[in-house]
Amino acid sequence: MSELTDLADRLGRILDSDAQKRIVTAAGIAAKKVSLDAATTSLGGDRAMRNFKKGRVRLGVGFDVVSDHEVQMNYRPDGAWILADQGRHRTKKVTPKRRQAKAFQVPPAAGFRRSFISGRSRGLNTFQNAARDSGRVAPEAASDAVDTEIRKALR
């Protein structure tokens, strides 16, 4: 009977909040890695989108441990993830400000270009792929972390 009580005490250690946070953190790390891999597959190795107002925008992912059993994924920046997922649906005429006109000088001796057209782009389903893959991988990572915690408790 004492062996059963001892086993119950050891298994009770994996239910403490520190172990649960380690399990949830392992799931979050796995989901983050898979989401970044989805962005890399869609956009290339640097996960960057070009031709934005401030230059390039890199897609990133983070996560917050909300509770002992929940992880919240943060896809940053939001607008770039939506653009990579759905694409740009309409064309738009871009007219530069007077100070920015030098950037649109083509060729330099020909004078300034007054405007240019920003065209449509197809969606790459980046966010959908990231959500699908992270939903598949996170439970597997949590299961592996639970196995690790049980092995620690039974040593």
Q: Would residue 94 count as lying in a domain?
A: no
**Alpha helix locations (H) across 44-125?**
78-86
Is residue 117 included in any domain, yes or no?
no
pTM given for the model: 0.76
Q: How far is CA 148 from CA 5, 20, 48, 50, 100, in A?
A: 21, 12, 36, 42, 57
Total number of domains in the chain: 1
Query: Residue-wise pLDDT tens for the chain (155 aa)?
Result: 466 667 666 666 667 778 888 989 999 999 999 999 999 999 988 898 877 777 788 999 999 998 878 889 999 998 889 888 998 887 777 666 665 555 555 555 555 556 666 677 788 899 999 999 999 999 999 889 989 988 887 77
| Residue 76 placed within a domain | yes
Q: What are phi and psi of 52, to 5 degrees?
A: -95, 170
The answer to whether residue 107 sits within a structural domain is no
In-domain check, residue 92: no
The answer to whether residue 81 sits within a structural domain is yes
- Outline where DSSP puts E strands in 22-114: 48-52, 55-58, 60-67, 70-76, 87-88, 92-94
Domain that holds residue 25: 2-86+124-153
Flag whether 91 is in a domain: no
In a domain, 96, yes or no: no
